[in-house]
Amino acid sequence: MDTRRLHYLDAMGIQAWVRRESAVPGRDEVQDTSSKEDIPSSLVSRTSSPGAAMDDIAALGWAELQQRVQNCTLCEQLVVSRTQTVFGVGDRQAQWLVIGEAPGADEDAQGEPFVGRAGQLLNAMLLAIGLQREQVYIANVLKCRPPNNRDPKAEEAAHCEPYLQRQIALLQPRLILVVGRIAAQNLLKTDTPIGKLRGVVHRYNDIPLVVTYHPAYLLRSPGEKRKAWDDLKLAVHTLQQGTQA
């Protein structure tokens, strides 16, 4: 394991054990952090979201979709409280799509998801599996910051759902990594606790979906970082299995 990756694991609070005889792995080996065993079929949950009516949003390209989000006034309370909308950022041809809950204060100010302390930890989590932030696409369920960072209301998530669905359709990711309870429950249409959603490969419109804890939660509960690391390994292995199929 190279020193850079050890540094990123340390940033996550993960103690890495390295055998003395191990050679320094190459790039492909760095990204392969998971077991080579197949994921049992019993661990796969096939859940998809029917979503709200897409109407003409389904025909929009990236630029038109971003403009539609920027001009959106469907949620009166969010329109009043937001500084700007937060559309998403990253590689629009990425294999990985990371989905969070909603913008916070830093994201609302900068117009980009995951830019505060939670964003720094997310970057470290991605780097630990060999990915730069610029190699993935990052979006949120909600495109506007809820007042006082409250949980999104059901109708707000419903209004934003066609935007996210269109982003997914345009991106066509090979894997979706969902961070946090709110995002996971909205995407999977469930009230199941996040602890029970972890460790299982779900499906969203037939795309493999892995759930993990939100980086903000991990900052408050560093003891859970080991579980998040397990989730990342599951995501890597799931993508590798899909590539080999």
Q: What is the pLDDT of residues 78-106, one digit of tens each?
A: 999 999 999 999 999 999 999 999 999 99
Q: Which residue has the higher pLDDT, 239 or 7?
A: 239
Q: How confident is the model at residue 27 (pLDDT cuts 50, 70, 90)?
A: very low
Between strands 175-179 and 207-212, the pairing is parallel
**Tens digit of pLDDT for each residue in 36-86?**
344 444 455 544 443 434 569 999 999 999 999 999 999 999 999 999 999
**Is pTM beyond 0.85 here?**
no
The model's confidence at residue 15, banded by pLDDT at 50, 70 and 90, is: low
If one counts every other C-beta atom within 10 angstroms of the C-beta of residue 18, the result is 10
Q: Could you report the per-residue pLDDT of 152-178, keeping only the tens digit for each?
A: 999 999 999 999 999 999 999 999 999
Q: Is 19 exposed, middle or buried (0-12, 13-18, 19+ CB in 10 A)?
A: exposed
Instruction: Residue 188: name the closest of 172, 176, 173 by CA.
Output: 176
According to CATH, the superfamily of the domain at 3-10+44-244 is Uracil-DNA glycosylase-like domain (3.40.470.10)
- What pLDDT shows up at residue 45? 54
pLDDT tens for 171-216 read 999 999 999 999 999 999 999 999 999 999 999 999 999 999 999 9
pLDDT band at 2 (very low <50, low <70, confident <90, very high): low
Structural contact between residues 113 and 107, judged by C-beta atoms closer than 8 angstroms? yes
pLDDT category of residue 242 using cuts at 50, 70 and 90: confident
Separation between Cα atoms, residue 173 and residue 138, nearest integer Å? 11
Burial 213-243 (b: 16+ CB within 10 A, else e): bbbbbbeeeeeebebbbbbbbbbbbbbbeee
Instruction: Kindly report, residue by residue over 98-141, the tens digit of the pLDDT.
Output: 999 999 999 999 999 999 999 999 999 999 999 999 999 999 99
Contact of 141 with 164, CB cutoff 8 Å: yes
Taking every pair of Cα atoms in the chain, the longest distance, rounded to a whole number of angstroms, is: 61
Q: Quick one: pLDDT at residue 189?
A: 96
